[in-house]
Chain A
Amino acid sequence: RMEASCLELALEGERLCKAGDCRAGVSFFEAAVQVGTEDLRTLSAIYSQLGNAYFYLHEYAKALEYHHHDLTLARTIGDLLGEAKASGNLGNTLKVLGNFEEAIVCCQRHLDISRELNDKVGEARALYNLGNVYHSKGKNVASAGTHDPGDLPDDVKNALQKAANYYEENLTIVTELGDRAAQGRAFGNLGNTHYLLGNFRSAILAHEQRLLIAKEFGDRSAERRAYSNLGNAYIFLGEFETASEYYKRTLQLARQLKDRAVEAQACYSLGNTYTLLQDYEKAIDYHLKHLVIAQELNDKIGEGRACWSLGNAYTALGNHDQAIHFAERHLEISREVGDRSGELTARLNLSDLQMVLGLSYSANNSMMSESHVAENSLNGTRPRVGRRHSMENMELMKLTPEKVQNWN
């Protein structure tokens, strides 16, 4: 009778998770564990699902705990397929937690067992997971360093190259299997790996395939991801017009999907792209749109970025009134969020503007009103002392093809 009860609770947990309510599902699974069962296969399935539910809820420590229980159980009862699955899930969880070496061991185990069992589907999935772990590992080391993105240290390059190889291997199998959805995922991540490696043309080819498959499935989220990634790659090829077209499609889909955060990101990318195209009116238009959403979402850091970008764009247009307004706002926000270097940048911007305007300007006590007199006489004219130049240094620093050439 206890057995039935554990099973009933677990079945309800499964139903809830399938319906998308992982939180409620977790409660039922935990209740099922409390009741207990002597059937270790059932218990293994419960642990596995608890692990996945916690994974989707972003509670990775809990996910790790349950996938580990599942692995131990699967080994105990000699369930090889179960062990492969648990290893894969444990590997994915360890990856998210940044424990890449252990993640690799687990995903490799998933791969080895799948090959032993001649399980092609499992093999392909393990290869995809391994690709993801190496990608994360490469990206993680790259972002922790102080070097430029293209100037990749050997360990980063090696990890990313391994990721690309695993994605390619995965693609061979899922193409044989005719699994278009899996191909779509592999193309997307392969494209991102090429992008990090600085192979922008290859990145574009992969993302174009991803886009094609997303359209086949009518998967608009995947379609939006592909547009965004294509935009990023074209930026680094110096093809800003093409990039802006892709970002506009990203924006269109973000609006259709009613994802405000993604909409904000698309506006920000468009603002930066139009800055690169030196069309500052359009840049301002998109940065303002980004600012509105950042405020709406109470994203202080995004708001700071928007103010910084707006300050630069208005400076480029010679509108110092607005430039000072946004530089001051940037300073305020940087202080608020405790961003010391943002604060420093804002102070530099303000002192530059002060120099341009020939004002005795102090960031501590001044507000807009104090700059009005000088502003009126200068408004609309482009100053000889250029903030524009240093602004371009900032915006273009990591975006220009010249820079890219150095990386390659």
Chain B
Amino acid sequence: SQPMAGHQAAELQSKVVPSKQILHSDNMEMEPETMETKSVTDYFSKLHMGSLVYSCTSKRKNK
């Protein structure tokens, strides 16, 4: 029957059309990843400039 054919076509289509465009369910908006950071200045500061600058950079990093 016609509605059945339509249904099957929709089933087929839903698997092929890229998710972003198809249905509400696939268009979830995720939060960003968080990456861990390292910095040459952390170590550099610690090594060459003493603790004052280091504590400043750590504070800045922790913001």
**Co-assembled chains A and B:** yes
Which residues of A does B touch, CB under 8 Å?
7, 10-11, 14, 39, 41-42, 44-46, 48-49, 52, 55, 70, 82, 84-86, 88-89, 92, 110, 122, 125, 128-129, 132, 135, 143, 146, 149, 184-186, 188-189, 192, 195-196, 210, 222, 224-225, 228-229, 231-232, 235-236, 265, 268-269, 272, 299, 301-302, 304-305, 339-342, 344-345, 348, 352, 355, 385, 387, 389-391, 393-394, 397-399
A14-B39, A48-B36, A85-B36 known; A232 vs B31 contact (CB < 8 Å): no
Contacts of B29 in A (CB 8 A): 188, 192, 224-225, 228-229
| B35 with A55: CB separation less than 8 A | yes
| A45 with B24: CB separation less than 8 A | no
Chain A interface SS verdict (over half): helix
A195-B28, A231-B24, A235-B24 known; A88 vs B36 contact (CB < 8 Å): yes
B55 at the A interface (CB under 8 A): no
| B40 with A45: CB separation less than 8 A | yes
Contacts of A49 in B (CB 8 A): 37-39
CA separation between A284 and B24, bound complex, in Å?
17
| B43 with A269: CB separation less than 8 A | no
| B7 with A397: CB separation less than 8 A | yes
CA separation between A220 and B56, bound complex, in Å?
30
A342-B17, A344-B12, A345-B9 known; A7 vs B36 contact (CB < 8 Å): no
B53 at the A interface (CB under 8 A): no
| B17 with A11: CB separation less than 8 A | no
CA separation between A7 and B49, bound complex, in Å?
15
| A390 with B30: CB separation less than 8 A | no
A7-B44, A344-B9 known; A45 vs B39 contact (CB < 8 Å): yes
What 0/1 pattern do residues 9 to 27 of B give for CB contact below 8 A with A? Answer: 1111111111111111111
| B43 with A341: CB separation less than 8 A | no
Contacts of B43 in A (CB 8 A): 39, 41-42, 45
Report which residue of B3, B23, B28 has the largest number of chain A beta carbons within 10 angstroms of its beta carbon: B28
5 contacts between A and B (CB under 8 A): A128-B34, A149-B25, A195-B28, A305-B21, A393-B6
